[in-house]
Amino acid sequence: MRIHPQLKNPKFYLMIVSDSVIFVITLIVAYLVRFEFVLSQNNITQIQNVLVWIIPLKIVVFLSLGVYRGMWRYTSIRDFWILGQACLLSTLLIMAIILYSSGFQGFSRSVFVVDGVLTFLFIGAKRMAIRSFFASYASPKGQGNLFPKISFRRVLIVGAGAAGEKILREIFENYQLHYHVVGFIDDDPEKQGRSIHGVHVLGNVARLPYILEKVNIEENPYCRSFRQWRPDQAY
């Protein structure tokens, strides 16, 4: 019997455990918000009883919808859509189970709505923290003393359009490239002085010799996505 590769990855189980902790926290916070931060003994007992099955239910839903398939260091908008769907589906299932078992007698519907929203926000924040961690590791400014010093090659991206933005994201997200994007070059007057993801458009092609001297570029600026650039190409 072949074991799925993900089951061999210790980080997979770390994610499951950390999400389980978040599931506990979000439900408790939801109760606190609903009951104005004063919990009765009945509320505490209720939390303990529902957590026993809510945690495994959410994990199963998250696994079924593929929340754990993506590499969290590369979290994208699509990953957040999947996370949102998983939170919505798990919330609906929780409310359906409680409605079927007890008719919501003694339960507050708003608690589980708030719980679903908080689950999305907390787990989404965790994903973004992981992505930001790896992004800071890739940044020349983020090396600090935690990681060995890495030599980053200072580069320019020619073209501040969709293709240039895609290249910039690839450099940001792939910490193994070891590139530091100093700026963009673009002939479009409307793009001059603007920025993409915090990286500024430094000027047009005519100013390239001056820009090269000023910002100390180490990589051939006429190379975009490892292909030769020609002045007559459109971006």
Q: DSSP class of residue 220?
A: -
Closest CA to 199 of 235, 154, 233: 154
CA 89, chain centre distance (Å): 21
* Ranges 78-82, 113-117, 126-130, 214-218: which has the least confidence: 214-218
Phi, psi of 75, rounded to the nearest 5 degrees: -55, 135
- CATH number of the domain where residue 193 is located: 3.40.50.720
> Quick check: 216 pLDDT over 90?
no
- Give the number of domains in the chain: 2
For 135, counting Cβ atoms within 10 Å of its Cβ (0-12 exposed, 13-18 middle, 19+ buried), the class is: middle
Do residues 120 and 221 both lie within one domain? Answer: no
| Amino acid identity for residue 21 in this structure | V
Quick one: 134 and 165 in the same domain? no
Other C-beta atoms closer than 10 Å to the C-beta of 56 total 12
Pair (22, 132) in one structural domain: yes
pTM listed for this prediction: 0.67
Cβ–Cβ under 8 Å, residues 72 and 127: yes
- 138, 167, 200 - which closes a domain: 138
Domain extent at residue 211: 153-228
Instruction: Tell me, yes or no, whether 167 and 127 share the same domain.
Output: no
Would you give the DSSP letter of residue 36?
T
Distance CA 158, CA 199 (A): 12
Check whether residue 189 and residue 119 sit in a common domain: no
Q: Are residues 25 and 100 in the same domain?
A: yes
Query: Mean pLDDT across the chain, nearest whole number?
Result: 82
Q: Do residues 12 and 89 both lie within one domain?
A: yes
Highest mean pLDDT among 16-20, 167-171, 208-212: 16-20
Comparing CA positions, the residue from 27, 56, 59, 26 lying closest to residue 44 is 27
**Residue-wise pLDDT tens digits, 8-39:** 777 788 889 999 999 999 999 999 999 999 99
Q: How far is Cα of residue 191 from the mean position of the Cα atoms in its chain?
A: 28
